Amino acid sequence: MDDPREHYGRLRLEKCRQALEKNHFEAYIAETPAAAKEIILGQILPKIGARTASWGDSMTLQAVGILDELRSNPEIDFLETFDQSVSRAEVIERRRKAFLVDLFLTGTNAVTETGMLVNLDQVGNRVAALTFGPRHVVITVGRNKIVADLDEAMKRIKDYAAPVNAMRHPDLKTPCVKTSYCMDCKSPDRICNTWVITEKSYPPGRIKVILINREMGL
């Protein structure tokens, strides 16, 4: 018998996929992270013919395992924006250049059952690239990120995703690290600076969302 959790997740993902498609996103469902990688390699890349690529921070994307595939692909010039061997100024410059790549990959903080992507960023390069610049954007997202509506998405991000994300960076000294929920702080380490709500993909199909039937990321 099918695991009820997997069946439940699949039903929710299908409803979400249909809503995303109505909002002009190109949406896929993957049962596993490995299947998500195969969708990118076998379906998306051959169709878009990307020659340059980069990425925005995402635990889900890293777990999918696609980044090393792109880094080692001789036909793709991969722009690394998290290289710790270079200066912070060089990292920022690379993130600016990433707006001009053919393919930008990242995750999302939440996706609503009505087919919207909701994100909150510290620096803003991730959400900026999601909005404009790269010719194509691929989003990988676990089933745990699906929420009913915008209000639930924003609450999830402020009171769960953002505090936990701050906790995974030991150098950040935000109040939420101690309280576990948003304090609307004025800390210089604040990571909650720029909201982006993507109601529809423009142009249609530019943003491709892979919904994964697993609990992934924050």
Question: Does residue 155 lie in a domain region?
Answer: no
Q: Hey, how many other C-beta atoms are within 10 angstroms of the C-beta on 80?
A: 15
Question: Does residue 190 lie in a domain region?
Answer: no
pLDDT at 14: 96
Question: Does residue 122 lie in a domain region?
Answer: yes
Question: Does residue 168 lie in a domain region?
Answer: no
Question: Does residue 119 lie in a domain region?
Answer: yes
Strands 52-55 and 136-142: unpaired
pLDDT at 5: 82
pLDDT at 18: 98
Do residues 29 and 13 touch, judged by C-beta distance below 8 A?
yes
Question: Does residue 72 lie in a domain region?
Answer: yes
Q: What distances in angstroms separate CA 94 from CA 21, 53, 81, 130, one per listed residue?
A: 32, 12, 6, 16
Q: Rounded CA gap, 3 and 178, in Å?
A: 37
Question: Does residue 204 lie in a domain region?
Answer: yes
- Which domain, by its residues, includes 95? 4-147+195-212
Q: Tell me the residue ranges of DSSP E strands in the chain.
A: 26-30, 52-55, 77-78, 103-106, 110-112, 117-121, 136-142, 146-147, 194-198, 207-212
pLDDT at 15: 96
What are the pLDDT digits (tens) for 31-53? 999 999 999 999 999 999 999 99
* φ/ψ of residue 60, rounded to 5: -65, -45
Domain count, the chain: 1
Least confident of 5-14, 55-64, 88-97, 120-129: 5-14
Question: Does residue 160 lie in a domain region?
Answer: no
* Band of pLDDT at residue 1, cut at 50, 70 and 90: low
What are the pLDDT digits (tens) for 82-132? 988 999 999 999 999 999 999 999 999 999 999 999 999 999 999 999 999
What are the pLDDT digits (tens) for 162-213? 999 999 988 999 999 999 989 999 999 999 999 999 999 999 999 999 999 9
Residue 11 sits in a domain whose CATH number is 3.40.50
